[in-house]
């Protein structure tokens, strides 16, 4: 397994946002996470990527423990230097792109591989240009993010994540800030990555997309996994009444 999260709990104040979540993602698998706003989807991703500290549970990458509940019931994380190694396992694509506005497209992509991974600038630049070509953005390498459309900026953000050669990519509602036309550009790229068997977890409100590209769909509500399984089953003929109600409301 690339990722295993066992009995993950997280509270903010008195509100338990994650109530004992279990999730595992195998190599080459695309998993879509759906559910209403406030169901805990983004918090789950933030715990998986160490942007939030879970209150209890266990997080493993490639079979190795990054975080766990100790015998006293406290959540323990590996040392900062070890955590840095775990962070190299994944890439994260945000809703709002988070590109550096004063860097060109190319510099946005090559900066981390060169400065963090200490890789050769020439090698990284060659790889970055190949990724931009694949994204249909090779001609934009020397542009600044502010001169790009939202869809182009999000594709650059995906290219930046891919340049780190991650084992798994996380997407947190990658199209929520885009209009429908630009949404299609970004979903096309993610679909291509799925066809190439890039391991991905995608938090999304795009149900047709989730059905088309996912190996598995997880429906969350109230901080729990209500239902998960084959996309056609979960989205087309769900077992749980809560899932049915969500999909009925969504279709309206």
Q: Quick one: pLDDT at residue 14?
A: 86
* Segment 24-47, tens digit of pLDDT: 999 999 999 999 988 999 999 999
Q: Quick one: pLDDT at residue 128?
A: 93
Rounded to 5°, angle at Cα 42 from 71 and 93: 115
In a 10 Å sphere around its CB, with 0-12 CB exposed, 13-18 middle and 19+ buried, how is residue 108 labelled?
Answer: buried
How far is Cα 79 from Cα 50, in angstroms, rounded to an integer? 13
Residue ranges of the chain with pLDDT lower than 70? 251-252
Report the Cα 138 to chain-centroid distance in Å.
24
Considering only CA atoms, which of 209, 79, 99 is closest in space to residue 146? Answer: 99
- Is residue 6 helix, strand or coil? strand
């Amino acid at each position: 397994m690339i990722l295993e999260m066992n009995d993950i709990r997280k509270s903010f104040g008195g509100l338990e946002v994650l109530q004992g979540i279990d999730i595992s993602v195998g190599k080459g698998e695309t998993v879509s996470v759906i559910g209403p706003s406030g169901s805990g989807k983004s918090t789950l991703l933030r715990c998986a990527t160490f942007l939030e500290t879970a209150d209890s549970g266990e997080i493993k990458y490639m079979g190795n423990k990054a975080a766990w509940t100790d015998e006293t019931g406290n959540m323990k994380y590996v040392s900062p230097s070890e955590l840095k190694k775990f962070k190299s396992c994944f890439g994260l694509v945000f809703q709002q792109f988070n590109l550096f506005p004063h860097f060109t497209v190319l510099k946005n992509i090559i900066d981390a591989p060169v400065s963090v991974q200490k890789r050769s600038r020439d090698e990284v630049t060659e790889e970055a240009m190949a990724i931009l070509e694949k994204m249909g953005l090779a001609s934009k390498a020397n542009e600044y993010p502010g001169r790009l459309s939202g869809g182009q900026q999000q594709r650059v953000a995906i290219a930046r994540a891919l340049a780190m050669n991650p084992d798994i990519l996380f997407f947190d509602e990658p199209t929520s800030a885009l209009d429908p036309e630009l949404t299609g550009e970004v979903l096309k790229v993610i679909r291509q990555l799925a066809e190439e068997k890039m391991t991905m977890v995608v938090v999304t409100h795009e149900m047709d997309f989730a059905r088309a590209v996912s190996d598995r769909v997880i429906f969350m509500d109230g901080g729990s996994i209500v239902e998960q399984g084959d996309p056609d089953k979960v989205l087309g003929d769900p077992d749980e009444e809560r899932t049915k109600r969500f999909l009925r409301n969504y279709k309206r």
